[in-house]
Homo-oligomer: A and B are copies of this chain.
Amino acid sequence: MEKFLNPRSVVIVGAPRRSGEGSFNNVETMLRYGYSGRIYPVNPQAGEICGLRAYPSIAEVPERADLAVVSVGRDRVFPVLEACAAAGIGRVIVVTQGFSDADEHGRALQDRMSAFAREKGIRVLGPNTMGVVNNFASFTTSFVDLPVPEKFSPVSLVAQTGVFQVASIDFSYRNWGKGIDIGNSCDVDFVDALEYFEKDPETRVIAIHMEGIRRGRKFLEAASRITKKKPIVVLKTGRSEKGARAALSHSGSLVGEDAVYDAAFRKAGILRVRDTQELRTALRALVRFGEMAGPRIGIITVTGAGGIMAIDAAEGALTLAELPDGLSASLTEGLPDWIRVTNPVDIWPIGMIGGDYPGAVSKALRGLQGSPEVDGILMIIPAMSSPLHGNIASLVEVVKNVREGKGGGKPIALWLYADDLSVYEERYEEIENVAAFPSIEDAVRGLAFSRRYRQFADGPSVISETCSWNREKARPLIEKGRRDGVLLGEEALELLAAFGIPAAAGRVVPTREALGGLSRDLSYPVVLKVTGPSFLHKSEWGGVVTGIGDEGALLRAWDDLVSRVGEKNPDAVLEGLHLQEQLSGTELLMGMKRDPEFGPVVACGLGGIYTEIFRDVSREIAPLTREEAGDMLRSLRIYPILRGVRGQAGVDRELLVDILLRVSCLAMEIPDLMEMDINPFIAGPNRSKAADARFIWK
């Protein structure tokens, strides 16, 4: 990747002869950006472009350039690629649109490029890309005339669009340091870009704009490794759930595409932002702040109303720190006794009535910063241009001085308000671990991002658990499932059992006579249900009778079911009915779905009639660790019920964790299984078992 971002020489194929307004001439924009390497325009119609000699063909360029940038019509791209290969150019950026972004013909052209690149060992960025920008080397391949930034940050961008480079000041914190637009990514993709930035010493934070992904599993591996060293922030766009609707199982429909991305980002320790405002906030925090050891914040504010707004914003993400001993007394010494100090510290009456506003801020900040109870600080302070408020400006010096004392590495998030923001923002941000945000809410979110990243980076590396199963018992069932496409009912429960997942005791009873023979020795209540691939949604039309209390009721249930089947589906061949012990407890759903990019995703949540209503489901990418399985349970809204609430006994949660690990095992060990549902899984105070299950291969 280095030659893409920092080439010594570039061939530009398809640069227009014309330059100036409206020409989108990337020789001109490259020169204006300050590139100091050698540029070789290739254009058979031009003798010279922007004062540089133009060459009629790539073959005639006098050196083997590091990089070629191509923007010819889509049908002419492939021959250019061949010419690059022939000339020994190993890196090619294809700017041209109209490939997989357009139509089938475009996709075919693109596939041909991919194959050619692999075959020849050259790397292609694009097509449909603006290319790269590297402010450390004053280099860009953009055909839009990007302004040369006065400042840029150690944040590197990987995007699927050029707009993040054009709108650098809108999306980044003080402009990207480097940017790669992977476009349609026929060859260079997210994984390549991440692995480059992983080792790049000029990159401290990585930002991703993602619409979709290939090589998801590779991406997860790389990102999981990188986020231990550098934060990755992602803006994932395109939250359509169309994919989810086509799913065949409950687990499938509850694990929508966006939920899989969520799970994948969580697994890899990637911070996901909801929108561009959050993107800027997160980047500012991650660039400016070092570590934030815990979630406890101290707030200094000159406005009580602002303190309340900060508490609102912190809810659920950060907590209010205890004030250090003595701080309150020391701040209010000599003041009227109605002035009280809590967290948020309302500095206004203290500073005003005490007559020393900077002194009060200094004391409060020193107290919070030095306290072991405080992990981060929020300051709400004005920044005014008025000559009458010069004393407020001197707070920059106050903060600078306090930072030299104990705890000076803790993050300080500022909300500066009033009319002189940009000047003060720069002055405050000269102080280490201080960042100024455009609103109170952003300042709080900034601290929260900083904390979330630190939590991940400090956490253990993901190690998959070992997994054992009864291969002998499982193999014939898996083979049958593969053959039939599905495995249902009693056989599905047997396959679960082979993976150590407890299932309700039961059997398929072939005839009414056989049922009569059994009925005396059963321990009631029992359940009787139809079985077989013709009856996928059996509970919706009365194909399940529960709570059968005695022999008579059992035989009546048989007759009812047989007659209902006859009505519902007169052609169905009934091979018997499924007789099962009746379980009682909370109905859960457990299952897995194989995502085409990220691989198996395990789901668990509320089952029964409210499944689709509340969608109280947690999802994680397999393989799960024990910790993750526990988190899946704890993150459910129904977790209090599993724990036991209002005098009701809870359930054996360790057993549920075990079962989730076994679902994860099964998902990893049957690599062609597409979806699997245990629905319901009935969790009771004393025993928890699968009552019905479904495996889907195709």
What residues of chain A have their CB less than 8 Å away from a CB belonging to chain B? 20-24, 28-29, 32, 74, 97-98, 101-103, 105-106, 144-145, 147, 159-164, 166-167, 169-170, 209, 211, 237-240, 275-277, 302-306, 308-309, 311-313, 315, 336-340, 349, 352, 357, 382, 384-391, 417-419, 438-442, 537, 540-541, 609-610, 612-614, 616, 637-638, 640-641, 645-648
Known: A97-B349, A239-B312. A170 touches B439 (CB 8 A): yes
Interfacial chain B residues near A22, Cβ < 8 Å: 357, 388-391
Contact pick for A303, options B162, B357, B440, B442, CB 8 Å: B162
Question: How many copies, total?
Answer: 2
Interfacial chain B residues near A357, Cβ < 8 Å: 22
How many angstroms between the C-alpha atoms of A101 and B304 in the bound complex?
10
How many angstroms between the C-alpha atoms of A541 and B239 in the bound complex?
46
How many angstroms between the C-alpha atoms of A419 and B275 in the bound complex?
20
Is there contact, CB below 8 Å, between B29 and A388?
Answer: yes
Is there contact, CB below 8 Å, between A166 and B613?
Answer: no
Closest to A357 in B: B22
Is there contact, CB below 8 Å, between A237 and B388?
Answer: no
How many angstroms between the C-alpha atoms of A219 and B161 in the bound complex?
49
Known: A144-B389, A613-B640, A641-B609. A417 touches B167 (CB 8 A): yes
Is there contact, CB below 8 Å, between A237 and B305?
Answer: yes
Is there contact, CB below 8 Å, between A163 and B386?
Answer: no
Closest to A149 in B: B419
How many angstroms between the C-alpha atoms of A441 and B209 in the bound complex?
15
Is there contact, CB below 8 Å, between B614 and A637?
Answer: yes
Is there contact, CB below 8 Å, between B613 and A275?
Answer: no
Interfacial chain B residues near A303, Cβ < 8 Å: 161-163
Known: A145-B384, A277-B277. A306 touches B163 (CB 8 A): yes
- Given A29-B388, A145-B384, A610-B610, 13 more pairs with CB closer than 8 A: A21-B391, A22-B391, A98-B339, A98-B349, A102-B339, A145-B389, A147-B385, A161-B304, A167-B382, A167-B418, A209-B305, A239-B312, A614-B614
Q: List 6 A-B contacts (CB under 8 A).
A: A21-B387, A105-B338, A144-B384, A275-B313, A612-B645, A613-B640
Interfacial chain B residues near A638, Cβ < 8 Å: 610, 613
How many angstroms between the C-alpha atoms of A620 and B32 in the bound complex?
62
Is there contact, CB below 8 Å, between A388 and B160?
Answer: no
Interfacial chain B residues near A20, Cβ < 8 Å: 388
Contact pick for A308, options B21, B169, B237, CB 8 Å: B237
Is there contact, CB below 8 Å, between B161 and A98?
Answer: no
Known: A22-B391, A239-B315, A613-B640. A147 touches B305 (CB 8 A): no
Closest to A161 in B: B305
Is there contact, CB below 8 Å, between A169 and B419?
Answer: yes
Closest to A28 in B: B388
Q: Could you tell me the distance in whole angstroms from the C-beta of A415 to the nearest C-beta in chain B?
A: 9
Scoring A305, A439, A442 by chain B CB atoms within 10 A of each residue's CB, the highest score goes to A305
How many angstroms between the C-alpha atoms of A22 and B389 in the bound complex?
6
Known: A211-B305, A304-B161, A613-B637. A419 touches B647 (CB 8 A): no
Closest 9 pairs between A and B when the two form their complex, measured CB to CB: A161-B305, A167-B417, A102-B338, A145-B386, A163-B303, A145-B388, A540-B647, A103-B338, A275-B441
Is there contact, CB below 8 Å, between B439 and A275?
Answer: yes
Interfacial chain B residues near A309, Cβ < 8 Å: 237, 276
Interfacial chain B residues near A161, Cβ < 8 Å: 303-306
Known: A303-B163, A647-B540. A338 touches B98 (CB 8 A): yes
Q: Could you tell me the distance in whole angstroms from the C-beta of A121 to the nearest C-beta in chain B?
A: 30
Is there contact, CB below 8 Å, between B238 and A308?
Answer: yes
Is there contact, CB below 8 Å, between B312 and A160?
Answer: no
How many angstroms between the C-alpha atoms of A440 and B235 in the bound complex?
13
Is there contact, CB below 8 Å, between B417 and A163?
Answer: yes
Is there contact, CB below 8 Å, between B388 and A211?
Answer: no
Scoring A237, A240, A337 by chain B CB atoms within 10 A of each residue's CB, the highest score goes to A237
Scoring A439, A645, A647 by chain B CB atoms within 10 A of each residue's CB, the highest score goes to A439
Interfacial chain B residues near A387, Cβ < 8 Å: 21
Is there contact, CB below 8 Å, between B163 and A305?
Answer: yes
Interfacial chain B residues near A145, Cβ < 8 Å: 384, 386, 388-389
How many angstroms between the C-alpha atoms of A302 and B162 in the bound complex?
11
Interfacial chain B residues near A23, Cβ < 8 Å: 388
Closest to A73 in B: B336
Interfacial chain B residues near A32, Cβ < 8 Å: 388
Interfacial chain B residues near A609, Cβ < 8 Å: 641, 645-646, 648
Closest to A24 in B: B352
Interfacial chain B residues near A277, Cβ < 8 Å: 277, 439, 441-442
Q: Could you tell me the distance in whole angstroms from the C-beta of A148 to the nearest C-beta in chain B?
A: 10
Closest to A391 in B: B22
Closest to A209 in B: B305
Closest to A355 in B: B22
Is there contact, CB below 8 Å, between B541 and A418?
Answer: no
Interfacial chain B residues near A164, Cβ < 8 Å: 305
Q: Could you tell me the distance in whole angstroms from the C-beta of A160 to the nearest C-beta in chain B?
A: 7
How many angstroms between the C-alpha atoms of A613 and B613 in the bound complex?
13
Closest to A20 in B: B388
Known: A22-B391, A102-B339, A106-B338. A166 touches B417 (CB 8 A): yes
Q: Could you tell me the distance in whole angstroms from the C-beta of A102 to the nearest C-beta in chain B?
A: 4
How many angstroms between the C-alpha atoms of A330 and B654 in the bound complex?
65
Scoring A29, A646, A648 by chain B CB atoms within 10 A of each residue's CB, the highest score goes to A646
Interfacial chain B residues near A106, Cβ < 8 Å: 338
Is there contact, CB below 8 Å, between B21 and A388?
Answer: yes
Interfacial chain B residues near A162, Cβ < 8 Å: 303
How many angstroms between the C-alpha atoms of A647 and B238 in the bound complex?
33
How many angstroms between the C-alpha atoms of A154 and B419 in the bound complex?
20
Interfacial chain B residues near A386, Cβ < 8 Å: 145, 147
Closest to A445 in B: B275
How many angstroms between the C-alpha atoms of A82 and B305 in the bound complex?
30
Q: Could you tell me the distance in whole angstroms from the C-beta of A54 to the nearest C-beta in chain B?
A: 19
Closest to A639 in B: B613
Known: A390-B21, A613-B637. A647 touches B541 (CB 8 A): yes
